Amino acid sequence: METNHQTYNEKSRITLNDLICKQSVRATFKLPTELIELLGVISGQLGIKQKSLLDQLTQDRAELKRLAEKTKDTKGGKDALKQKTFVLSRSTLNTINSIAKQYHVPRDLIVEVSIRRLVPLVETELQKHHQRKIIRKDMREYLLAGEKLKQKTRELLGTDDEIFTMIEKQLTQTEKKIAEIDALIERGMAMEDW
């Protein structure tokens, strides 16, 4: 029994280096303005912090090496560059710096190509956003048809009838769902400007 406890403690032991690597640091990169905006749009759409998004995009060391190798001879985007300071984990910054040095690639370029991987995601999300707007329109038409049915039920059966109550509850639920759809669409509006 002692051996199992000891093995668990050894596996769950946290080192000082583990804690330091999780520490947040600030780093400034020169990036195309459109990518800075893209990062903001996606983090807003997904409801996660830019730090978490950047950490996730750059945590796969093998993928960063592949990107660095692929972009070795690339000069970077031709778009206007802007300095932007990001908060990211120390381990992420160390990884970026290490790979930039190893492959003789500017770290700005490594961050740029990492963020560019989000472009297909935002294009897919933008398509869904437009489809959601169509569904919302249909839901509003459904609500109007329901209101007409409620009025007809009121005239034929009165407000005390069970069917009237059922229809009224259904319409209340539909109104709530339309409000939720509205909030989802509102969150995605930033993608339209990107």
pTM above 0.85, yes or no: no
Mean pLDDT, rounded, for 19-44: 85
Q: What is the mean pLDDT of the chain?
A: 86
Q: Which long-range contacts (CB under 8 A, 24 or more apart) does 183-191 make?
A: 184/132, 185/129, 185/132, 185/133, 185/136, 187/44, 187/45, 187/47, 188/45, 188/125, 188/126, 188/128, 188/129, 188/132, 190/40, 190/41, 190/44, 190/45, 191/41, 191/45, 191/122, 191/125, 191/126, 191/129
- Using pLDDT thresholds of 50, 70 and 90, give the confidence band for residue 3: low
Is the predicted pLDDT of residue 36 greater than 80, yes or no? yes
